[in-house]
Structure 1
Amino acid sequence: MRKAPIAILAALLAGTAGLTAPAPAIAAEQGAAAPVGPPDGKGSHDALVTLFTTFTEWKTPKAVDGVVDYSPATVDKRRAELRAFQAKLPDFAVARWNRHQQVDYLAVRAQMDLQDFTLNVTKPWARDPGMYVDELQRLAYTDLPVEGPALAAFRARLRTIPAYLAQARINLDSVAADYADLAIHSLSHGDGVGHGMPYRAVEPEGLIGWFEDLHGRAAKAQPALLPEIEAAQAAIGGFRDWLVAARPTMTTPAGVGKPAYDWFLTNVRLMPYDSDQIVTLAERELERHWANYTTERHRNRNLPELQLPTSAAEYEAQLAGTDAKIRQWLRDEKIITIPDYIPATYQEVGFNAPWIVRPEGPMFWEQVQFRDASPDHLHATFPGHRFDGLTGKRVTDPIRKHVSDSGRTEGWGFYLEEAALQLGLFDDRPRTRELIYIFGIFRAARTIGDVKMQRGEMDVDQTMKFWKQWTPYLDDNVARVDAGIYIRRPPGYGMTYTIGAMQLQKLMVDRKRQLGDKFAIGEYHDYLMGTGRLPVSLLRYDLTGYDDEIRNLWAHKPLSALLAQTP
C-alpha cells in the first residue's frame, strides 16, 4: 500500500525548521540553482491592499435575479480581467517588506491563483451539472407564505429557472462522468446529509422531490405562486431527462490530474508537500488511528458500549452538558481565551447535528454525535468552526479578514479532537476516546480518497467502497456526499483535515521549541484565532520566522505555463 519508505515519512514530519536558504555559492557547489527570492519592485504594501480590495470585490460574479452568467463571452472577459490583476503582482517591493507583509503578498497571490484554476481547469459551469442543481436547492426550502420585497425576489428567481437551465445545457459541454452521476442522484434521490434542508419525517427525493414539497405547501399557503413553481418543476424535470439521456457521452474524468493537483497544492494551498507525500502521511495516519482504536477497544472491553439516546430531550440534555463541560475545561486548563462576545449557550452558538429520527437509523455523523456530542462539538462548534467563525469576524486586517483556507479551518477543527484527548478532556469518558479515533480514521481515509480521485486513480464509487472498508459506522449517503464534496470543490479540500491538523501540530512543536518554558498553549491557540485563517505554512512563517516552507514559493510557476505543457 505504501509507496514511499518510512524514512521519507520521518523526514516529512521532522521538517527543517529555522534553516535559512543556502548561500548561492553553496547552492552552486551542491548542484542546485540559487534560490529565487521575493519580487523587488516598487509597489508598497498599501498598494497591495488596494489591489486586493478591488480583486475581492471582483472575484464573486454578480447575479441577476439570483442567476450568474456563465456564458462563454462572460467567462472570457473574466479571464482577461484576472490576467490584469495578476500582471501587477511582480511590481511590488516584497523583498524589502517585513515577514508579516510578505505573508500577505503570498496570500493574495494564492487567492488569484485559485480564481485562475477555477476559470481554466475546474470550470464547474462547463463540467459539473451539480453546480446548477446546488444553486436551486435552497430555493425549494423557502418558508411560505412569502410577503413584501421577499415575495418579489422569490417570484423573480422562480421565473428565471427555465431559461437558466436551458443555458446550462449549452454551457455544459464537457461534463465529467462522476459529476453527471452525482447530479442525477441529487436531482432524484434524498440523502439527508449536509444540504441545510428542513427536517421531514419522510425526506423528499432530491431537488425534484423538494420542488414537489414546495408545490404542495404553496397549494395550501400561497396558490398564486403555483404557475411559477410548476414552470420551474417542468424545467428541472427536463434538465434531469436531458442529463440522463446524455450521460453515455459524458465519460471524461472529474479529477484534474496529478500535475494540476500538485500545482494547486503548491500555489493555492501553499502546502509544503506534494500529493505523493500527502498520501504517505495519510496512510500512516490511517494505520495510527486504527491502531489506537484497536487498543482503546481492548482497554475498554469490560465497559458498556455507548448507547444512542431514546428521545430529543435526552439528546438535548447531553448537548447542554457537553457544551458546559467543554467551556469549563477550556477555562480551567487555560486552553484558549473565550471572548466576551462569544454567546453563553450552545443554543446561541449553534450545534452541528439536530435530533432526527430516521426510519433507517442514524447516519454516520449521528452515530457518533448522538452517542457523545463532544467530538463533533469540539470540531464544529466550540471551540471549532462556529467559535472560529465568530473570532474570524473580528479580524480587521484588510487582507487576512478575506482569506479562509481550509487547511487552517478544517485543520483546526480536527486538531482540536485529538488535542482534547491528549489534554485529558476524555479521561472520564473512555468509550468517547474510541469515537475520536473513528473520526481520525475517516479523515485519513478521506485524504487518500481526495488525492486519488483528483489524480484520476479512483472514481467516486471506488472511493466510497474504500472508505466504508476502513471506517466504522460509515453509510453510503455520507460516503457519497463527502466524495462529491471533495471531487467537486477546489482540489485538496478533503485532505486538509488530516494534513492541516498535522501542520498545526508541527507549528505548535516549532513554537514550543522556539520559546521553551515561555510557551503557553493558550497563547498559541489565541494567535490562531486572532491572526486570520491563512494557509498554515504562512502562519508558521508569520509566527516563528522559519522560512523553510515558504522559501520555494517565491519561484512561482504560473498556471498558464503548466497548461502549456499539458497535452
Structure 2
Amino acid sequence: MLTGFDRARTGRPLLLVALSTLAGACGGGEREPTTTPVVDESLEELFQAWRDFEAPEFVDGVPDYTADAMAAQAGALGSWVARLDDQGYEALDTSKRIDWHLVRAEVNGLDFDHRVRRPWARDPAFYVWIYPAQSDVPAHEGPVIHGWIDLWTYSDPPSPEEARELADRIGNIPELLDQARTNLTGNARDLWQAGIRSFRGQAEDLEDYAVRAGGILPELDAAITEAHAASTAFADWLEETLDSKTGASGVGKDNYTWYMRNVHLVPYSWEEQVTLMKRELARA
C-alpha cells in the first residue's frame, strides 16, 4: 500500500479523456509519431520511467525546485518525446494508442510548465505543503508541489506510527520555504497576492492540527510549531515584497489554446470556448 508520501512523490494522475476528443487534440505543431515499434521498452515501462523523471529529486525530504534542477529537467524533455515516438504509434492497438496520447499529454504538460507556467518561480502558492481536506478533483486543482501532505488520508488523530511519519514530513516545511524564497523570481502580482492568502491559510491549518494531534508525539508537536512559524514568516515575506510585483499572471490566449489542445486534449481554442460559455449563459 502506498503511504501518503508515496502518493505525493509519484506525481499527478493521468488525465481522463474521452476517445472522441483525441482526434482533434494532437495539433499544435507536434511531430508525427513514427511507425516502427521499439522492442526493448514497453509503453508501460516508459510511463513508469516518465513518472520518476517528472518528479524532482528529493534532498533530505525536500523537493529540489532550484533553477539548476529545473533547467536540467527542461533540457531532458526532448528525449522523452523521442522515446514516445519510438513506440511506433501506427503499430499500437486502439487501447495502446489512447495510452500513448495520455502519456504524451503529460509530457506536454511538463513542457508547458517549463516554457510558460513555471509555478516554482512564479507562484508562491505552489509551495503549500499541507492539505487538510480532500479535493473535489482526483488530485488537486492547479500546479501542486511533489511531496504534499494530504492530512485527510491519515487517522484523526494520527496513530503513533503516523505521527512519526508526519513529524518528518511536516518538519520539512521550514527548509522548503527557505528554498522557495530563492526560487521565486517571478513578477506575477495576482499570484503573489494569492500566495499570501494561501500561507495564512496553511498557518491556520497547522494551528488547528496542533490541537487535534497535540500530545501524541513530542517531535510532531515541535514540527508543527516550527512549520507554523515558517508559514507565517513566509506570508509576511510575501506581503513585504508585494509592492515590487507588477506583472500579469495570465498565460495569454495562444498559450491557453495550446495547453487545452495538447495537455487536456480539448480541441477548442480560447475564442471558441468563450463563445460556448456565452451561449450557455444566454440559455441560462
Tell me, yes or no, if structure 1 residue 249 matches structure 2 residue 244: yes
Asked if structure 1 preserves the Cα contact closer than 8 Å seen for 2:164 and 2:219, the reply is no
Hey, what does 1:51 align to over in structure 2? 46
Matched, 1:147 2:160: yes
Aligned to 1:12: none
Give me the whole-angstrom Cα distance separating, in 2, the residues matched to 1:274 and 1:55.
28
CA deviations on 1:102-150 (whole Å, 9 max, x unpaired) are 44433332221111112222111111111112x13445957446413x3
The 3-state SS of whatever aligns with 2:233 is helix
Q: Distance in 1 between matches of 2:150 and 2:263?
A: 34
In 2 relative to 1, CA 155–92 (structure 1 residues): closer, same or farther, beyond 3 Å?
closer
After TM superposition, the score normalised by the length of structure 1 is: 0.38
Give the whole-Å Cα distance in 1 for the aligned partners of 2:109 and 2:90.
23
Taking the aligned partners of 2:150 and 2:34, their CA distance within structure 1 comes to: 52
Match of 1:282 in 2: 277
1:157 to 169, 172, 192: 169
Aligned to 1:85: 80
Which whole-Å CA distance do the structure 2 matches of 1:41 and 1:286 have between them? 45
Alpha carbons of structure 1 residues 98 and 232: separation in structure 2 relative to 1, 3 Å: closer
Match of 1:169 among 178, 181, 184: 181
Cα distance in structure 1, aligned partners of 2:92 and 2:207: 58
The Cα of 1:166 is off from its aligned counterpart by 0.9
Q: Is the 8 A contact 1:179 1:254 kept in 2?
A: yes
- 1:249/1:38 Cα in 2 relative to 1: closer, same or farther (>3 Å)? same
What is the CA distance between 1:59 and its match in structure 2? 2.4
- Give secondary structure in 1 for the equivalent of 2:130: helix
| Whole-Å separation in 1 of the counterparts to 2:96 and 2:127 | 39
Deviations 1:17-74 (A, max 9, x none): 9xx9xxxxxxxxxxxxxxx995344224974443233213432335456532111222
The correspondence of residues 288-327 of structure 1 with structure 2, limited to 5 A, is 288=283, 290=284
Which residue does 2:67 correspond to in 1?
72
Size of the alignment, in residue pairs? 237
Task: Check the 8 A contact 1:140/1:214 in 2, yes or no.
Answer: no
Q: TM-score, normalised by structure 2?
A: 0.71
Distance verdict in 2 for CA 1:64–1:99, change over 3 Å: same
Change (3 A) 1:103 1:186: closer
- What is the 5 A alignment of 1:188-227? 188=200, 206-217=201-212, 222=217, 225-227=220-222
Aligned to 1:451: none
Higher relative contact order (CA 8 A, sep 6+): 2
**1:130 pairs with 2:120:** no
**1:264 and 2:264 equivalent?**
no
Change (3 A) 1:48 1:226: closer
Give me the identity figure in percent. 33
How far does residue 169 in structure 1 lie from its aligned partner after superposition?
Answer: 0.6
> What's the CA shift for 1:165?
0.8
Mapped to 1, the partners of 2:64 and 2:185 lie a distance apart of 16
In structure 1, the partner of 2:113 is 118
Deviation at residue 81 of structure 1 after TM alignment: 2.9
Query: CA separation in 1, counterparts of 2:150 and 2:88?
Result: 50
Q: Secondary structure at the match of 2:248?
A: coil
SS, match of residue 271 in structure 1: coil
Query: Does the CA-based 8 Å contact 2:33-2:86 persist in structure 1?
Result: yes
1:183 maps to: 195
Question: Hey, what does 2:235 align to over in structure 1?
Answer: 240
Instruction: Say whether the 8 Å CA contact 2:215–2:221 is kept in structure 1.
Output: no
The within-5 A match list for 1:96-111 is 96-111=91-106
Pick from 201, 224, 232: which aligns with 1:229?
A: 224
CA distance in 2, matches of 1:126, 1:132: 10
In 1, Cα distance between the equivalents of 2:216 and 2:45?
49
Distance between the aligned counterparts of 2:202 and 2:218, measured in 1?
A: 21
Change (3 A) 1:140 1:84: closer
- Contact 2:34–2:86 under 8 Å retained in 1: yes
What amino acid sits opposite 1:215 in the alignment?
A
Paired with 1:270 and 1:83, the residues of 2 have a C-alpha distance of 20
What is the distance in 2 between the residues matched to 1:215 and 1:98? 53
State the partner residue of 1:61.
56
Structure with the bigger percentage of helix: 1
2:195 and 2:220 mapped to 1: Cα distance?
26
Q: CA separation in 1, counterparts of 2:215 and 2:88?
A: 64
| Counterpart AA for 1:207 | Q
| Runs of at least 5 residues in structure 2 that lack an aligned partner in the other structure | 1-19, 24-29, 133-148
Q: Aligned in 2, Cα 1:153/1:282: closer, same or farther, shift over 3 Å?
A: same
Deviates more, 1:51-60 or 1:236-245: 51-60
- What RMSD, in angstroms, separates the aligned Cα atoms of the two structures? 3.1
Q: For the Cα contact (< 8 Å) 2:38–2:86, is it kept in 1?
A: no
CA contact (8 A) 2:160 2:217 kept: no
Distance of 2:172 and 2:32 partners within structure 1: 48
